[in-house]
Amino acid sequence: TVGAVALDSHGHVASATSTGGITNKRFSRVGDTPLIGAGTWADDRSAAISATGHGEYFIRAVVGHDIAARMRFAGRDLATACDEVVHQELKALGGQGGVIAVSPDGDTRLSFNTPGMYRAWRDDEGQLHTAIY
């Protein structure tokens, strides 16, 4: 699975996610990637989120929307909302994986509960970084 989140200079966020699914899948299985609110979500009132992981759990936890709802209704900041969902809600179900997220004020969060995630991001000083583990 691959994904991207961004904030543009007009203050708008967006999210995109794409996948081939899981190896040797059957029965036209579909994971969280194309399910709006689960693997992909964007709302200028909270954040843009793209997920990767064991899709069945991300669907049940409605990961993207849950992160956004915590920010909008409970006043969480982006990092706290992402970490609560990935390390608590998702983990409690047994789900593994992670999310990338940006908020309209420019915060960026990469949160995952597995030992690694292929990822890249732009820091506060404009530098681009890549990491695997």
Partner 1 sequence: MNKAPIAIAIHGGAGVLTPGLLPPQDEDAIHEALRHAIDAGHQVLEAGGSSLDAVESCVVALEECPWFNAGKGAVFTEDGTHEMDAAIMNGADRSAGAIAGAHYIRNPIRGARVVLEHSDHVMLAGEGADRFLLEQDQPQVANDWFDTELRRRQWQDNRSGHKAPSLEPSHANHHGGETGGSEKPGHKFG
The residues in 32-61 that bind partner 1, with binding defined as CB under 8 A, are 33-36, 39-44, 47-48, 50, 52-57
CB of 31 to partner 1, least distance (A): 7
Specify the residue, 31 or 69, whose C-beta has the smaller distance to partner 1: 31
CB of 82 to partner 1, least distance (A): 11
- Local structure of residue 99 (DSSP, 8 states): E
Q: Tell me the Ramachandran region of residue 21: left when phi exceeds 0, alpha when psi lies from -120 to 50, beta otherwise.
A: left
Rule CB under 8 A: choose which of 15, 63, 66, 67 binds partner 1. Answer: 15
Residue 20 in the binding site for partner 1 (CB under 8 A): yes
- Local structure of residue 38 (DSSP, 8 states): T
Residue 128 in the binding site for partner 1 (CB under 8 A): yes
Binding to partner 1 in span 91-110, by CB under 8 A: 96-98, 100-102, 104-108, 110
Q: Annotated catalytic, 17?
A: no
Residue 107 Cα distances to 19, 22, 80, 97, 110, angstroms: 26, 31, 12, 21, 10
Residue 12 in the binding site for partner 1 (CB under 8 A): yes
Residue 28 Cα distances to 20, 22, 31, 32, 129, angstroms: 12, 11, 10, 13, 36
Residue 122 in the binding site for partner 1 (CB under 8 A): yes
Sole residue written with tokens 């669907």: 59
- Local structure of residue 132 (DSSP, 8 states): -
Positions annotated as catalytic residues are 1
